[in-house]
Amino acid sequence: MTTLDDGRDAEPITDPADSRASERARVGADALDRAACAQRDADDPLRGFRDEFVLPPETIYLDGNSLGAQTKGAAERAQDVISQEWGTGLIRSWNDAGWFDLPAVLGDKVAGLVGGGAGATVVTDTTSINLFKAASAACKIQTADAPGRRVILTQRENFPSDIYMLEGLAEQLGDGWEVRLVDDAEVTAGFPTALTDEVAFVVLTHVNYRTGRLFDMESTTSAIHAGGALAIWDLCHSAGALEIDLAGSGADLAVGCTYKFLNGGPGSPAFVWVSEALRTRFTQPLSGWWGHKQPFEMEPSYTPAEGIRRYLTGTQGIISMSVAEVGLDIHSRADMAAVRQKSLALSDLFIELVDSRLSHHPVEVVTPREHAQRGSQVSITHPEGFAVMSALIERGVIGDYREPEVLRFGLTPLYVGFADVWDTVEVLRDILDNRLWDAPQHKVRGAVT
């Protein structure tokens, strides 16, 4: 249990009776004290998954939306690849240990979590590189089908790397191609003005990395198609945290990473998915030998592989990919409907506790309160957000900070519990009540926030 600086355990709510009654109506009696939260953890059908992760003692880890916790078995798997498959098998392991097929094998495991279907996904490279590939493919398809369309539309609040990659692609293409930014409100409203007949394709992040806003994939994709454009989705902040149905939603292409909610490890490879309708039409500009139809024929000219393998480029990072498989296998045993239900329950509790226990501070919840618009994180703002997060981390509560003034708390249902949420808000209240953030060490920023 996380304690306050003076050694006191977190105290139950002591609001007046009428306030307590109001809170009970909103969050239920089982969310009003720590003991009840601990009981919810004991009754949690997903509670066994917590033992699948390496979590430091006296630490509450709420940054799985940035880097997932280490999986048990990851170190052993890496050691096995290094000492046995590499050390003993040597180059034979490309065949004997299945290294060559690993991108597609892992791809099918990802597809099972995002509703992608077999043979539609490969795990490879980084999200940014895969987005460049997918966007390039969309450009070529639309140039053939709708040559007058030269606009790439994306969210103003998209993860910046996505915007940067699209800007670089448009600059490389020239010939009138441009990137236009659209506000989240325009997306939620179904593109009443931005989706003109100039738009070739739209790139959207499924969950806003800063606020945690979730966009309805099916209705949004339908609106994009009605406007004559293609839809590319970035699943970095949703894959592994909520139910996704890429094929059922009509999406055209998608990318995402494995190191956040999928717990693949720092810098673990990303993935790219292509719809069945485009699978025989897409091409990509990074035509390396792993995407060749017969790479070991060593032909001087490029012939793309059939299907999704053509999205591969160069030789894969087998150690990282093998470790990522451990996280994917854990997720494959979890019921994603139960994961989503717990995610919403955790964030409901977090939001209600912030509302009721921190209302005397300049704190605002910026994550949508509607379930249909919420991912698996709670973001709040405070004028001294960076310093407050630094103080939280010093106390063993690890979230992260994003400009401007946003404290992010990622809720990974497989290892975050209700008591963790209670303790987090109690520590946060103590930091704010006693201005513990107002210390020199909390004003110093490292390269990564």
SS3 track for 145-191:
HCCCCCEEEEECCCCHHHHHHHHHHHHHHCCCCEEEEECHHHHHCCC
For this structure, is 408 an active site residue? yes
Strand ranges in 265-388 using DSSP code E only, listed in sequence order: 271-274, 364-365, 377-381
Over residues 168-181, the pLDDT tens digits come to 999 999 999 999 99
The 10s digit of each residue's pLDDT in 2-54 is 444 344 343 333 333 334 333 433 444 344 799 999 999 999 999 999 999 99
Residue written as token pair 């949004």: 220
- Among residues 34, 210, 260, 395, the one annotated as catalytic is 260
Tell me how crowded residue 420 is: count the other CB atoms within 10 A of its CB.
25
234, 348, 400, 420: which is the annotated catalytic residue?
234
Strand (E) or helix (H) holding 27: helix 17-27
pLDDT in tens, the chain (449 residues): 444 434 434 333 333 333 433 343 344 434 479 999 999 999 999 999 999 999 999 999 999 999 999 999 999 999 999 999 999 999 999 999 999 999 999 999 999 999 999 999 999 999 999 999 999 999 999 999 999 999 999 999 999 999 999 999 999 999 999 999 999 999 999 999 999 999 999 999 999 999 999 999 999 999 999 999 999 999 999 999 999 999 999 999 999 999 999 999 999 999 999 999 998 888 889 999 999 999 999 999 999 999 999 999 999 999 999 999 999 999 999 999 999 999 999 999 999 999 999 999 999 999 999 999 999 999 999 999 999 999 999 999 999 999 999 999 999 999 999 999 999 999 999 999 999 999 999 999 999 98
3-state secondary structure the chain: CCECCCCCECCCCCCCHHHHHHHHHHHCHHHCCHHHHHHHHHHCCCHHHHHHEECCCCCEECCCCCCCCEECCHHHHHHHHHHHHHCCCHHHHHHHCCCCCHHHHHHHHHHHHHCCCCCCEEECCCHHHHHHHHHHHHHHHHHHHCCCCCEEEEECCCCHHHHHHHHHHHHHHCCCCEEEEECHHHHHCCCCCCCCCCEEEEEEECECCCCCEECCHHHHHHHHHHCCCEEEEECCCCCCCCCCCHHHHCCCEEEECCCCCCCCCCCCCCEEEECHHHCCCCCCCCCCHHHECCHHHCCCCCCECCHHHHHCCCCCCHHHHHHHHHHHHHHHCCCHHHHHHHHHHHHHHHHHHHHHHCCCCCCEECCCCCHHHECCEEEEECCCHHHHHHHHHHCCEECEEECCCEEEEECCCCCCCHHHHHHHHHHHHHHHHCCCCCCHHHHCCCCCC
Catalytic residue among 408, 415, 418, 420: 408
* Token pair of 359 as six digits: 């209302």
80 has catalytic annotation: no
pTM above 0.85, yes or no: yes
For 219, the token pair is 């209705």
User: Which of 132, 215, 259, 261 is the catalytic position?
Assistant: 259
Q: Which domains does the chain show, CATH number per domain?
A: 17-62+335-443 (3.90.1150.10), 75-332 (3.40.640.10)
Q: How far apart are CA 239 and CA 236, in angstroms?
A: 6
Q: Is 132 a catalytic residue?
A: no
Does 159 qualify as catalytic in the annotation?
A: yes
Does residue 251 contact residue 275 with C-beta atoms inside 8 Å?
yes
Q: Give whole-number Cα distances, 164 to 16, 25, 141, 252, 259, in Å.
A: 52, 46, 21, 21, 21
